[in-house]
Structure 1
């Protein structure tokens, strides 16, 4: 009997443990809803490359930092490119999908981002601060992130020889995350208490807020995918980019009401159908 519905391979690591979040709950919910429209199977990211041929599209969701399975991830990307696999998110992202270099590029281009440098010789270009954030260029999920006093930051950067980024530690009011499906804004959440990053509440984004977030989505040029724009509210009231997550952003769907979750699922279904028809 021929297949009558699109076959989707959903890549996730249900055993991945994230601080303050339960990734597996989100994927259990999403796959339960997507099965209404698609024939769907789940697999671990290490198995994705070997399974591509049996599916019409691949959805990469809460698969954890690729640092833990770099060779398997590279093999997946190579195999998907060879056979022209439809991947969601599409694999052309210029932000976290490709590492943290984009923070340097956006700083250099004058975008509203937390000022970032990658060399000890450039530290003078950063605003003066008591502490600096030092993080790996290929880091994810706060892995390897350090707070370094001003009197030690130069030696720290030199010791890491170009493998890290440096930012001033910003005394921000709160963090806000903006969530997009393809280029369509879906919802915003914020952490009113900075010390509790993942205690999120709905946020009523202003037109100015959305203009800020859309600027980075447009810069990234990902036509098919979910993107999360993470920003902080600086002391002067302006928003600054913290991160542009374009690989497998956690969605914090548990912070939405039922109507909000339904709306997101509807948008994702439509996006996957657009990908399959492309």
Structure 2
């Protein structure tokens, strides 16, 4: 068991992480010493920690070059959870193509690199960056808004980003999303999540406003989420924590919206005390 753990956050996220109080209390009960530190604080000596757990570094996409440099420095100084290689793979949502290639059901996605023109699907659709978090720079459009969507893609390209174009999943408006959480490869709990993307606009804060609730995952949901995690584990090793977000597709089946391995909200307030204890055990094992 480790003795000293860094719980890694960022200044703007202080006091906004619902998981933090529950997780820190559970970690305290293990006897480990925990420091809550900002990833970008130059005064932190990362070698003082046995392990550093990425938790609420929610501004990393806005400071990506700095974050990537920091990632390598910390990975050399201590044990990073999840590891740097896992973080780098998960940074770019082009991993969805890898999951699809392995037979995991995912939302059909077109990746539009800078210099390429986007093709928009019929009906409503979503545009967002391939490197992004918290639904920032994501917006939904209807069939008459291709020009506006094209401007959105152009803005992403001007920033050097690959754009993602996906059909709008109609069930999201009625059913929302289902995040499924895994600790050390074992399914822990699930939640129900609703995020309202702006129409032809973008979110410029740390994250979009969410409405969350408890949810008991069905066997079919766990099966799809575990299939995605199996691909990750085979490629990168089993992550200490993982979140797989599912939606219901047009056929009524479940498909992967995204896999969160960097700094995901873990929905501990909606899972009972056992989940926080399980997370703490995983982080100090």
TM range (shorter): 0.7 to 0.9
Taking a change above 3 Å as real, the CA distance of residues 155 and 72 of structure 1, as seen in their structure-2 partners, is: closer
What corresponds to 1:206 in structure 2? 218
The alignment's TM-score, normalised by the length of structure 1, stands at 0.80
Taking a change above 3 Å as real, the CA distance of residues 96 and 239 of structure 1, as seen in their structure-2 partners, is: farther
Contact 1:95 1:245 in 2 (8 A): no
Deviations 1:25-68 (A, max 9, x none): 42133223212320111111102794211111111111213123
Give the C-alpha shift of residue 188 in structure 1.
Answer: 1.1
Q: Quote the Cα distance in structure 2 between the aligned partners of 1:48 and 1:34.
A: 25
The alignment's C-alpha RMSD in Å is: 3.0
Q: Quote the Cα distance in structure 2 between the aligned partners of 1:218 and 1:211.
A: 10
Q: Quote the Cα distance in structure 2 between the aligned partners of 1:155 and 1:48.
A: 40
The alignment's TM-score, normalised by the length of structure 2, stands at 0.78
What corresponds to 1:182 in structure 2? 184
Taking a change above 3 Å as real, the CA distance of residues 69 and 14 of structure 1, as seen in their structure-2 partners, is: same
- Say whether residues 1:272 and 2:271 are aligned partners: no
What corresponds to 1:46 in structure 2? 40
Give the C-alpha shift of residue 93 in structure 1.
Answer: 2.1
Structure with the greater relative contact order (CA < 8 A, sep ≥ 6): 1 or 2? 2
- Which of 251, 255, 260 aligns to 2:270? It is 255
Q: Quote the Cα distance in structure 2 between the aligned partners of 1:200 and 1:131.
A: 24
For the residue of structure 2 that corresponds to 1:143, the secondary structure is coil
Deviations 1:69-116 (A, max 9, x none): 324422222113334x21122223278732221123334554311100
Q: Quote the Cα distance in structure 2 between the aligned partners of 1:59 and 1:194.
A: 26
Instruction: Give aligned pairs, total.
Output: 258
Q: Quote the Cα distance in structure 1 between the aligned partners of 2:17 and 2:118.
A: 41
- Say whether residues 1:58 and 2:52 are aligned partners: yes
Contact 1:133 1:167 in 2 (8 A): yes
- Say whether residues 1:142 and 2:154 are aligned partners: no
Give the C-alpha shift of residue 227 in structure 1.
Answer: 1.0
Contact 2:4 2:49 in 1 (8 A): yes
Q: Quote the Cα distance in structure 1 between the aligned partners of 2:243 and 2:39.
A: 21
Any gaps of 5 or more consecutive residues in structure 2? 198-208
Q: Quote the Cα distance in structure 2 between the aligned partners of 1:31 and 1:7.
A: 13
For the residue of structure 1 that corresponds to 2:68, the secondary structure is helix
Q: Quote the Cα distance in structure 2 between the aligned partners of 1:158 and 1:169.
A: 16
Taking a change above 3 Å as real, the CA distance of residues 5 and 207 of structure 1, as seen in their structure-2 partners, is: closer
Any gaps of 5 or more consecutive residues in structure 1? none
Q: Quote the Cα distance in structure 1 between the aligned partners of 2:17 and 2:165.
A: 32
What corresponds to 1:115 in structure 2? 108
Give the C-alpha shift of residue 163 in structure 1.
Answer: 2.0
